């Protein structure tokens, strides 16, 4: 979703009155893709604020998108992308028609091919932490090489490189980056740890 930095910061549970401060901490650390899941309180307001204040400098999108009506709402809010927890061709088709980038949740090879054939821009492999890097390697062996995989669920600074080495293009970072109610200071510290881990991996591949 962003070639500058393929790490997606997931702000699950963030509230409108705090969303901008946490996004600012993430941008300062080096993030350029921010996801606000739809199971967060008053997500419409949070996404609208995020797009208004930061949409011109970073990609603001939505996660846990499961139905077509939400896709239409997100398009009207100016969302750049959606992430889904499941593989729903109708959601993919609607998002593509709205010119939104899609990262589609899947686990099996069958789900991955359904998403790819409907034009998904990326595949969200979930729960990656439970499946492990070897599962990523197995998927990569049969999927078209141009399909970018994102590891989501259980990704930490100390295991991020394992998934990147296994063939993931990027990763979605959840509770090890942000937990609802945590301080801005904690968000900044966690974000710094992830960016350092990613940069260390890139240096090792140079």
| Residues acting as catalytic residues | 35, 124
Bridge partners of residue 7, in order along the sequence:
171
Residue of 90, 121, 98, 112 whose CA lies nearest to 1: 121
**Are 131 and 155 a contacting pair, CB within 8 Å?**
no
Q: At what angle do helices 109-117 and 133-142 cross, to 10 degrees?
A: 50
**Are 78 and 101 a contacting pair, CB within 8 Å?**
no
**Are 157 and 163 a contacting pair, CB within 8 Å?**
no
């Amino acid at each position: 979703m962003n070639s500058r930095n393929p790490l997606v910061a997931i702000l699950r549970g963030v509230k409108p009155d705090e969303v901008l401060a946490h996004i600012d901490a993430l941008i300062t650390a080096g993030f350029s893709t921010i996801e606000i899941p739809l199971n967060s309180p008053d997500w419409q307001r949070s996404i609208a604020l995020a797009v208004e204040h930061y949409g011109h400098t970073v990609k603001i999108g939505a996660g846990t998108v499961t139905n077509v009506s939400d896709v239409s709402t997100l398009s009207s809010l100016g969302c750049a992308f959606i992430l889904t927890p499941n593989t729903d061709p109708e959601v993919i088709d609607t998002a593509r028609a709205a010119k939104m980038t899609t990262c589609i949740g899947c686990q099996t090879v069958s789900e991955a091919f359904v998403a790819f054939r409907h034009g998904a821009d990326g595949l969200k492999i979930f729960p990656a932490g439970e499946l492990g890097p070897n599962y990523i390697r197995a998927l990569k062996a049969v999927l078209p090489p141009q399909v970018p995989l994102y590891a989501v669920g259980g990704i930490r600074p100390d295991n991020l490189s394992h998934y990147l080495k296994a063939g993931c293009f990027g990763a979605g970072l959840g509770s090890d980056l942000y937990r609802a109610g945590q301080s801005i200071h904690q968000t900044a510290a966690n974000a710094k740890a992830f960016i350092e881990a990613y940069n260390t991996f890139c240096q090792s591949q140079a």
